């Protein structure tokens, strides 16, 4: 286990602290023959970069990725791909104060409880910068999905309680506004609300939705490694995510069977479903419909408003957290959701290749 | 991966189909020296048994467990524990019809898509009987937790949209009514609603809540194998679970940071939290508070009401599912939630033993 | 880890003690569509059965296997296959004496050291009966190899220092004599030597050789999961195996590069090697030649001759082990070598399916 | 699997090609609180560095390691430790010729067979430089062993057929001569023989022996993850290793039970063994004696003498390999043997912590 390794077939190990020398990831199990260059990775990393609007931390990080192994003459070789982003803008001074107390909503206390001490600079390993490795590896997974005809996109479905209106759904808008909301009007309302909360020294949460298109049926393992269970773990492994649901999710708990069941129907000679309450997964395996799921993201725990807490000497104190923080996590987490989704899907798609003996025989006969 | 294996340190492999010879589980990694007898397992299995009220399937299954290995003179030996429940009440005839079509909300189609064919008798491996192995193994995990001073209980928080009132919370009631609801009045309302839905040939869903008490802090790994992420996967791996949330969960998405953050406070010389919006987990590690989470359960997909679907020849047809089915899944899933929670906690508690060098050295010096 | 689980893609969990209720195995990850019946398993199990000549223990065990799950209408379904062999001939009385002392060459002491106590009846989990689960699972792996055109056979290369003469190599003989030696004359010499050693209350060791034919090139992972490293672990995991070598093995250590290197050469338009000092593996991957390796097997530690040892009270004592024991391990271990080889090869063959992106794309395009 | 990941509890992922940007390793699962600095790693890396005598390749590599994460204020934090060595002396021109043909005894052909093409520069991932990551991670494992009172040392037992004389065993000598031989006279003979073989453009093999002292009993899992099986895989995963044996190894195959069994005996109130034919492992678990094993290393396949082979166009050709190569692999592999041994032992020592319930309870009660 050990915690910083993800995936069984397309396996990654991420590393790095917020204010250490660098952060990165190694990918073990990427197939040979994928065209890959640093720009492929950088594109995705740039989407998680801070400092892109006043609603994200003003901290500037170049976050330039370097590929150190596993690629030769523009193609992956099948050997581990090591990627690194060197830290260039650490201001440890900003954070020295937090060494002495436990910030509410943060992992300061639990790190100390588990390990005896912690790298307190910028949250150390529990910083959002930890996701750099995930996103870099996810960029590779996304390229593999693409070569299989699978695409996916995540966006903010709701921020600060303000939800998008699906009647006005506009995916392009999600790529253009600071909140990744596919509804300009909702985004405008969020802007007003967020501006107010920033002034109050407070922060807000939201819900990210992700849709996968072009998925073949049968992906996911029927018992413990269900597709939805795996996606759930992937999402909940992202700091600040407190809930996950697929398809109708928590709404399904209030429905009757006759409402919630998706009838199968033949359409143009193809088996399909009339509705998609299931969110594209039946019995833990993809059913060929779009996969649709949501992750609930808590408000940023770092707020400048005064809070009660405890210091390392066991005294009750009051604090006000300084430094450069995102007033909301959702916009920058959207790309992490996409990365983790891609990593999970690739792993299960690879796993599925040995589900049937005829498929295995055909595979090896073909290569004869 | 392969799907029927769960856990890394306390590892289980479950097997068996609804109408096969037997179902069971092997536990690899149970420590030596735990007192264990068949009655310990049977007690938990009996709680998932069908036929205990008119709100569960009238199918009768003795479900008597047998321990075949790993226990000697009343104690576990550290070697694999194999447990088996032989099937005694299979009526394959009841199910032969479903061989030819795809039931909405079931895994019939996805099994065919993945494996080319399926054991259609009673749902085969996707039957709820698959959970027998989980519960049997979970009973052992619960005994280990108990020896560490950790207890847990799950119950129905909501069924058919009818929620419990925490003012009237009564855990004993949950063990006594057919719905596992810790609120007698809510249970009475559910009974009326469920009776009506059964008459309509329909089914209902609900929400299960689980609380873990006595957890030491620091359990869970800080990145991918977070405690909440692992619990989420555990819950979502249970058939019919469509959503998971920890602490305030989806509500947290609507809150501000100042509302959602739990202030730390010293109380009787012990660090604690004023509130528990976090649900007992910070940064993926237990914080010493109660762990509180919920799983959303969809309504039983098997309903006798008429439904549209498709048969294996690709024709649109109408069906009405016969046979013995639970009108709601929640009551019998409660014990599965407890089992999966115990399995997950034990695995992470074992994992945590190598978090600190001083702990490792003390462990080996002690045994010198 | 936990020790009784083997394989990553074709994963097995074995269980059972010599004198417990039963022994068995669960296979998680067997592809769907393999024709399988109990007779397929029984055939291989019968080859490891005791009591087949005076050179194996006279203990009689029916060792009848039962398949409890994962097969429907004569074919594997892709779900876990559970197999069990009930114990029918335990005579615990024979073994009660050994509860009190540590037999030289056995795991009695180390079991106590690790677990605090042990199931001493017949060696418990460290009995050779533990291999029943391996052989049952290996029978399935062998069927998968067969469907890919791969065959393998193991035999005694040397027993009690008496080696076969490759000039007289006769594989059929190996299936007919009590020693599995592919050389009748060597077998006759072993018979004389073994008879003498039995009379002296002593036991003898030997070397098993295994040859795999029809292997496609490229199987095995180039760094830690090399094909030869994996085979080595497989062999050394068999009780009594103390050494492993592939190709020229320890002889290679005495050779020069010009002697040991196998020249490549085109033959009938096909790349091949002039010699096979490498044993069919280059850089940890199969090279298309036969895979050839050997395992050194120590003499049976249970001997009736008097030995010094220590009892549980820490007293130096003399013992003479009674009971029914094999005077040599090699003949019955041959089928275990075949089983473990098959399990290892299938696992790596499955792993290899995601080595190249073009192969993955072709696989999924084919099934579209 | 995926091949470049090793260990389950103390897990490492190595990466890097001979002539890529860099090589390195990430360690996931190192406990917190270990004092660690770059010098700890560098010391071990320096022992595998080329160019230290005329019997290793004259290629100069600074091989300076950098720790990029997981250490804070001189101590490990429990988070992944990333280490990197940048390549500074790649001369790709030397190697361009080998792109077109398959060198005998090398992985050129098998890499092409598996992945479709290969990074041919300096052997790419199959270069001995791949072991840099192993040695860097092994240095950490060695420090953990040291804190548990366990030490280990490897040395050349035999080179070019010239074996050490145990009567003249001198461990200090092994650290001083170019051949790592603990017998000065044998080393002198090897020097003469090796000098001659270098002149002939040929290379030689040998045998490495490793001894572990101070091991607690009970380490290793009794079935598949036996201590000796795990060490065997570790050794055979090192390029050029073709055989492995523990204790008497292949000699045990020629012995009788009465010769090979090690009698237990009480000595100074402590259970010990009169002999150590077992090599310190009984039933796959350490027995408290020294662990003693050997690895057979083939001669360097890169030789300047003329060899037959095949090129990528399928033509039979003659080649003479140019470039800078070690005339023997043993001396530089000794430190890799030590590193892999340490990694394997730490993994199994960590695994063993959950073998007994009383140990687990004591561990958690202690920390209360």
Exposure on the CB side of residue B273, measured as CA atoms within 13 A: 26
> For an interface test with C, which of B4, B19, B99, B123 has the most C Cβ atoms less than 10 Å from its Cβ?
B4
Q: What is the pLDDT of residue B54?
A: 72
Closest approach of C323 to chain B, Cα-based (Å): 21
Q: Please say whether the beta carbons of D289 and D278 come within 8 A.
A: yes
Identify which has the larger pLDDT, A324 or B31: B31
Q: What is the 3-state secondary structure (H, E, C) of A118-166?
A: CCCHHHHHHCHHHHHHHHHHHHHHHHHHHHCCCEEEEEEEEECCEECCH
Q: Please say whether the beta carbons of B144 and B34 come within 8 A.
A: yes
Tell me the C-alpha distance between B205 and B253, whole Å: 24
Residue C98's pLDDT band (cuts 50, 70, 90): confident
Closest approach of B99 to chain C, Cα-based (Å): 13
C182-221: b or e for each residue (b if 16 or more CB lie within 10 Å)?
A: bbbebbebbbebbeebbeeebbbbbbbbbbbeebbbbbbb
Pinpoint the alpha helices (H) of D148-252.
171-176, 184-199, 227-236
Q: Helices H, strands E: what count in chain A?
A: 9, 19
Cβ of residue B125 closer than 8 Å to a chain A Cβ: yes
Angle between helices A38-48 and A330-351 (to 10 degrees): 140
Closest approach of C11 to chain B, Cα-based (Å): 8
Q: What is the pLDDT of residue C149?
A: 97
Q: What is the pLDDT of residue B221?
A: 97
> For an interface test with C, which of A7, A350, A364 has the most C Cβ atoms less than 10 Å from its Cβ?
A364
Give C201-241 pLDDT, tens digit per residue. Answer: 999 999 999 999 999 999 999 999 999 999 999 999 999 99
Task: Point out the residue among C32, C77, C118 whose CB comes nearest to the CB of B77.
Answer: C118
Adjacent-strand bridge partners of C265? C272
Give the range among A292-306, A313-327, B70-84, B240-254 with minimum mean pLDDT.
Answer: A313-327
Give A184-224 pLDDT, tens digit per residue. Answer: 999 999 999 999 999 999 999 999 999 999 999 999 999 99
Q: Please return the burial class of B82, using the count of CB atoms within 10 Å of its CB with bins 0-12, 13-18 and 19+.
A: buried
Closest approach of D308 to chain C, Cα-based (Å): 5
Give A117-152 pLDDT, tens digit per residue. Answer: 999 888 899 999 999 999 999 999 999 999 999 999
- In the annotated binding site of C for NADP(+), the residues are 48, 54
Judged by CB atoms closer than 8 Å, whether chains meet at D257 and C303 is answered as yes
Task: Point out the residue among C235, C315, C351 whose CB comes nearest to the CB of D1.
Answer: C351
Mean pLDDT for chain D overall: 94
Secondary structure element (H or E) that encloses residue A66, with its range: strand A65-67
**Chain B residue at shortest CA distance from C85:** B68
Task: Point out the residue among B11, B20, B75 whose CB comes nearest to the CB of C69.
Answer: B20
Mark residue B33 as left, alpha or beta (left: phi above 0; alpha: psi -120 to 50; beta: remaining): left
Kindly tell me if the per-residue pLDDT of D95 is higher than 70.
no
Give C300-331 pLDDT, tens digit per residue. Answer: 999 999 999 999 899 999 999 887 678 999 99
Q: Helices H, strands E: what count in chain B?
A: 9, 18
Residue C51's pLDDT band (cuts 50, 70, 90): low
Strand ordering across the sheet containing B11-16: B5-6, B11-16, B22-28, B81-86, B65-67
Kindly tell me if the per-residue pLDDT of A60 is higher than 80.
no
Q: Provide the token pair at C87.
A: 């114990």
Cβ of residue C5 closer than 8 Å to a chain B Cβ: yes
Name all domains of chain A by residue range, CATH numbers in brackets. Answer: 5-366 (3.60.150.10)
How confident is the model over D53-68, as a mean pLDDT? 80
Which residues of B fall within a CB distance of 8 Å from D361?
Answer: 147-148
Q: What is the pLDDT of residue A92?
A: 55
Judged by CB atoms closer than 8 Å, whether chains meet at A80 and D116 is answered as no
Task: Point out the residue among C147, C350, C367 whose CB comes nearest to the CB of A354.
Answer: C350
In chain C, the percentage of residues whose pLDDT exceeds 90 is 85
Judged by CB atoms closer than 8 Å, whether chains meet at D31 and B354 is answered as yes
Q: C-alpha C221: how far from its chain's center?
A: 22
Cβ of residue C368 closer than 8 Å to a chain A Cβ: yes
Which residues of C fall within a CB distance of 8 Å from B85?
Answer: none
**Can you tell me the ipTM of this complex?**
0.96
Kindly tell me if the per-residue pLDDT of A90 is higher than 70.
no
Query: Is A300 marked as a binding-site residue?
Result: yes
Adjacent-strand bridge partners of A292? A211
Q: What is the pLDDT of residue D53?
A: 73
Which of the 8 DSSP states describes residue C290? P
Query: Is D54 marked as a binding-site residue?
Result: yes
Residue C49's pLDDT band (cuts 50, 70, 90): confident
Judged by CB atoms closer than 8 Å, whether chains meet at C357 and A76 is answered as yes
Q: What is the pLDDT of residue B123?
A: 86
Judged by CB atoms closer than 8 Å, whether chains meet at A32 and C357 is answered as yes
Mean pLDDT for chain C overall: 94
Q: What are phi and psi of D192, to 5 degrees?
A: -65, -45
Q: What is the pLDDT of residue C95?
A: 67
| Strand ranges inside chain A, DSSP E | 5-6, 11-16, 22-28, 65-67, 71-72, 75-76, 81-86, 101-102, 151-159, 162-163, 206-213, 241-246, 264-267, 270-273, 281-282, 285-286, 291-297, 307-311, 316-319
Tell me the C-alpha distance between B226 and B224, whole Å: 6
Closest approach of B10 to chain D, Cα-based (Å): 9
Question: What does the angle CA D333 – CA D337 – CA D342 come to, to the nearest 5 degrees?
Answer: 150
**Chain D residue at shortest CA distance from B10:** D354
Q: What are phi and psi of C185, to 5 degrees?
A: -65, -45
Counting every residue written for chain B, the total comes to: 368
Q: Please say whether the beta carbons of C121 and C95 come within 8 A.
A: yes
D22-28 and D81-86 as β-strands: parallel, antiparallel, unpaired?
A: antiparallel
Q: Provide the token pair at A53.
A: 């609007």
Which residues of B fall within a CB distance of 8 Å from D78?
Answer: 355-356
Judged by CB atoms closer than 8 Å, whether chains meet at B264 and A309 is answered as yes
Adjacent-strand bridge partners of B208? B156, B295
Q: What is the pLDDT of residue C178?
A: 94
Adjacent-strand bridge partners of C211? C153, C292
Judged by CB atoms closer than 8 Å, whether chains meet at A242 and B263 is answered as no
Cβ of residue C148 closer than 8 Å to a chain D Cβ: no
Q: C-alpha C31: how far from its chain's center?
A: 23
Adjacent-strand bridge partners of A113? none
How confident is the model over C17-45, as a mean pLDDT? 97
Residue A95's pLDDT band (cuts 50, 70, 90): low
Residue A158's pLDDT band (cuts 50, 70, 90): very high
Q: What is the pLDDT of residue B51?
A: 62
Pinpoint the alpha helices (H) of C169-226.
171-176, 184-199
Tell me the C-alpha distance between A223 and A221, whole Å: 6
Give C99-156 pLDDT, tens digit per residue. Answer: 899 999 999 999 999 999 999 888 899 999 999 999 999 999 999 999 999 999 999 9
Kindly tell me if the per-residue pLDDT of C61 is higher than 90.
no
Q: What is the DSSP code string of B266-277?
A: EETTEEEES--T
Pinpoint the alpha helices (H) of chain C.
38-48, 108-115, 131-147, 171-176, 184-199, 227-236, 257-260, 330-351, 357-366
* Short-list C94, C333, A278, CA closest to B107: A278
Q: What is the pLDDT of residue A150?
A: 98
Query: Is D91 marked as a binding-site residue?
Result: no
**A residues 49-68 lying closer than 8 A (beta carbon) to B:** none
Tokens 């320890």, located at residue: C250
SS3 state of residue D292: strand
Mark residue A349 as left, alpha or beta (left: phi above 0; alpha: psi -120 to 50; beta: remaining): alpha
Kindly tell me if the per-residue pLDDT of D367 is higher than 60.
no
Q: What are phi and psi of C313, to 5 degrees?
A: -85, 5
Cβ of residue A286 closer than 8 Å to a chain C Cβ: no
Kindly tell me if the per-residue pLDDT of D60 is higher than 70.
no
Q: C-alpha C135: how far from its chain's center?
A: 8
Q: What is the pLDDT of residue B93?
A: 62
D71-72 and D75-76 as β-strands: parallel, antiparallel, unpaired?
A: antiparallel
Closest approach of A122 to chain B, Cα-based (Å): 14
Q: What are phi and psi of C88, to 5 degrees?
A: -125, -10
Q: Please say whether the beta carbons of A320 and A304 come within 8 A.
A: yes
Q: Provide the token pair at C25.
A: 């195995």
Closest approach of B31 to chain C, Cα-based (Å): 8
Kindly tell me if the per-residue pLDDT of D61 is higher than 80.
no
Q: What is the pLDDT of residue D218?
A: 97
**Chain C residue at shortest CA distance from A223:** C79
Q: C-alpha D278: how far from its chain's center?
A: 21
* Short-list D17, D284, D367, CA closest to C4: D284
Which residues of B fall within a CB distance of 8 Å from C67?
Answer: 21
Cβ of residue A146 closer than 8 Å to a chain C Cβ: no
Cβ of residue B353 closer than 8 Å to a chain D Cβ: yes
Tell me the C-alpha distance between B246 and B235, whole Å: 11
Judged by CB atoms closer than 8 Å, whether chains meet at C16 and B69 is answered as yes
Please identify every stretch of chain B with a pLDDT value under 70, giving residue numbers as ranges. 1, 50-52, 56-60, 90-95, 324, 366-368
D151-168: b or e for each residue (b if 16 or more CB lie within 10 Å)?
A: ebbbbbbbbbbbbbeeee
Q: What is the pLDDT of residue C304?
A: 92
Q: What are phi and psi of A346, to 5 degrees?
A: -60, -45
Q: Which chains touch D (3 or more CB pairs under 8 A)?
A: A, B, C
Identify which has the larger pLDDT, A312 or D344: D344
- In the annotated binding site of C for FMN, the residues are 125-127, 283, 298-302, 324
Q: Please return the burial class of A358, using the count of CB atoms within 10 Å of its CB with bins 0-12, 13-18 and 19+.
A: middle
How confident is the model over A239-259, as a mean pLDDT? 98
SS3 state of residue B315: coil
**B residues 77-96 lying closer than 8 A (beta carbon) to A:** none
Q: Please say whether the beta carbons of B50 and B60 come within 8 A.
A: yes
Q: What are phi and psi of D230, to 5 degrees?
A: -70, -40
Model confidence, pTM: 0.97
**Chain C residue at shortest CA distance from B28:** C2
Kindly tell me if the per-residue pLDDT of A164 is higher than 60.
yes
Q: Please say whether the beta carbons of A65 and A72 come within 8 A.
A: no
SS3 state of residue A149: coil
């Amino acid at each position: 286990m050990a915690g910083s390794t993800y995936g069984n077939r397309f396996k990654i190990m991420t590393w790095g602290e917020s204010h250490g020398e660098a952060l990165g990831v190694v990918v073990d199990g990427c197939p040979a023959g994928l065209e890959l260059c640093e720009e492929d990775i950088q594109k995705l990393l740039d989407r998680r970069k801070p400092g892109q609007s006043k609603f994200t931390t003003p901290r500037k990080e170049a976050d330039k990725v370097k590929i150190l192994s596993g690629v030769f003459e523009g193609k992956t070789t099948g050997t581990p791909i090591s990627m690194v982003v060197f830290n260039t803008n650490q201001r440890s001074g900003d954070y020295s104060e937090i060494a002495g107390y436990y910030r509410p909503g943060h992992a300061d206390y639990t790190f100390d409880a588990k390990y005896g001490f912690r790298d307190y600079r910028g949250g150390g390993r529990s910083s959002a910068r930890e996701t750099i490795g995930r996103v870099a590896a996810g960029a590779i997974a996304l390229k593999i999905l693409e070569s299989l005809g699978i695409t996916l996109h995540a966006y903010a479905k709701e921020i600060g309680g303000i939800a998008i209106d699906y009647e006005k759904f506009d995916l392009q808008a999600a790529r253009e506004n600071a909140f990744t909301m596919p509804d300009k009007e909702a985004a405008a309302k969020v802007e007003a609300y967020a501006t107010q909360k920033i002034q109050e020294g407070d922060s807000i949460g939201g819900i990210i939705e992700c849709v996968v298109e072009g998925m073949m049926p049968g992906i996911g393992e029927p018992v413990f490694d269900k597709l939805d269970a795996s996606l759930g773990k992937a999402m909940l492994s992202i700091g600040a995510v407190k809930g996950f649901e697929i398809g109708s999710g928590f709404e399904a708990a209030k429905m009757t069977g006759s409402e919630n069941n998706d009838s199968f129907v033949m359409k143009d000679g193809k088996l399909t479903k009339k509705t998609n309450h299931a969110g594209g997964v039946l019995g833990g395996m993809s059913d060929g419909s779009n996969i649709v799921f949501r992750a609930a993201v808590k408000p940023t725990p770092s707020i400048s408003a005064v809070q009660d807490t405890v210091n390392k000497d066991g005294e009750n104190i009051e604090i006000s957290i300084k430094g450069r923080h995102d007033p909301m996590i959702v916009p920058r987490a959207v790309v992490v959701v996409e990365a983790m989704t891609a990593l999970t899907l690739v792993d299960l798609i690879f796993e599925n290749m040995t589900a049937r003996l005829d498929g295995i025989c055909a595979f090896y006969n073909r290569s004869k």
